[in-house]
Amino acid sequence: MKFGFDIDDTLINLRAHAFSLYNQKLGKNIPQEVFQALQRVEIHEPFGLTETEGATMWNHSMEEIYFTDCPSFEGALETLQLLAQQGHEIYYITSRPKQYCARTKAWMVAQGFPIKDNHFFCGMQDTEKVEIIQKLALDVYVDDKPAVLETLGNVASKVILKNQSYNQQVDLPRLNHWNDFLKIIRVNK
C-alpha cells in the first residue's frame, strides 16, 4: 500500500517542542496544560503575544524549532519503520518552507524515518497537498491540520486525522496514539 504522512504535529510533536522553546526564550514557565488546551494551531497567545508578534516569534525561531531535538510521537517512528519493512511505500508531504526542505529531509533521516528517493515532498502550500495526494494515488494519508483536511473531502485516499486539541471538530477516523495506527487502517479500510 501507499501511505502518506504529514510531518509536523502528525509524526513529531513540533508545537509542544516550540512551546517549551518559547518558555525558555521568553523567560516564562507556562504549563503544559495551557498548551494542551489550545484551540488553534498557533501557540503564541498564552505568552501574551499579538498575532503579528506571534508570527515574528515563530519565523525567527523556525530554525531552532525544526532542527533541534523535537521528539516524534511515541510509536510513530516504529510504525513507519514496520510499514517500510513490510514493503509498503511511504511518502512524506510537508508544507515546511522551501528553504528548510533539504535539511528537514536530512533531519528526518537522522531520526530514523525511512525515506526513499522521490518520496519526500516539501515546500507546498497547505492547500496544494491535495494535488500531490491525488497524483500519488495514496491509499492512506495522515494529517493534523484542519486547513489541510478540509481540502481532502474528495480524495480517494483514506484520510486519517492525528488527534490534536485544535481539530476536535473534524469528523474523520482519529488517530489518538500511533500504536493504534495498524488497527485503524485494518478496521476502517
Residues at the interface with Mg ion (CB under 5 A): 6, 8-10, 144-145
Q: Which of 96, 51, 74 is nearest to 107 (CA)?
A: 96
| DSSP 8-state class, residue 74 | T
- The CA radius of gyration of the chain, in Å to the nearest whole number, is 16
**Minimum distance from residue 26 beta carbon to Mg ion (Å):** 24
For Cα atoms 177, 183, 185, give the angle at the middle one, nearest 5 degrees: 100
Would you state the cell numbers that stand for residue 106, as one nine-digit string? 536530512
**Closer to Mg ion at the Cβ: 22 or 73?**
73
**Closer to Mg ion at the Cβ: 26 or 147?**
147
**Closer to Mg ion at the Cβ: 7 or 83?**
7
**Minimum distance from residue 11 beta carbon to Mg ion (Å):** 9
**Minimum distance from residue 27 beta carbon to Mg ion (Å):** 28
**Minimum distance from residue 163 beta carbon to Mg ion (Å):** 12
Main-chain dihedrals φ then ψ at residue 94, nearest 5 degrees: -125, 140
**Closer to Mg ion at the Cβ: 10 or 79?**
10
